Amino acid sequence: MKKALIIFYSYSGHTKNIAQQKAKSQDADLYEIKDQKRPGIVSAYVSGCFRAMRQKETPIEAVEIDFSRYESITVMAPIWAGHPAPAFNSLIAKLPSGTAVKLYMISGSGQSSKDRVTEFVKSKDCTVTDYIDVKSKSLLS
């Protein structure tokens, strides 16, 4: 029987908490994407925001997942300056061609650049099955 997979990137821990809650409620496997070298807070949010707005990648640790084992894949990432953190872009670039993903974009405002993010995922030959903006503050209070 195939399971659900939740893949996430979290810098501050908000997205990780939400991913853990979602995985528990769905009995899904959980996989964390990590930076090869964790940036300091200033670097993450200043240069990271500029990289996010330009949909640039950043070096992440190897992604060792057998995607064929899963019937559904959810990707969660924090929103920086209206766009997913650069590690999200790196992950999407590593997904097998034709992968269908549900996206959860986590931010303090609950808003992201949905059309631009969806087009980016499609440009990597993947499909977005659902796109959900999540306001992190409301979930953590």
| Structural domain boundaries in the chain | 3-140
Nearest CA to 52 out of 76, 77, 29, 20 is that of 77
The third-level CATH classification (topology) of the domain covering 3-140 is: Rossmann fold (3.40.50)
Q: How many CA atoms lie within 13 A of 29 on its CB side?
A: 13
**pLDDT given at position 141:** 39
Q: Can you read off the two tokens belonging to residue 43?
A: 């670097």
- As a whole number, mean pLDDT of residues 40-68 equals 86
pTM for the whole structure: 0.89
Summarised one tens digit per residue, pLDDT across range 60-116 is 999 999 999 999 999 999 998 888 999 999 999 999 999 999 999 998 777 788 998
- As a whole number, mean pLDDT of residues 116-136 equals 92
Q: Is 27 left (phi over 0), alpha (psi -120 to 50) or beta?
A: left
Kindly report which listed range (7-21, 25-39, 46-60, 115-129) carries the lowest average pLDDT score: 46-60
**β-bridge partners, 131:** 103
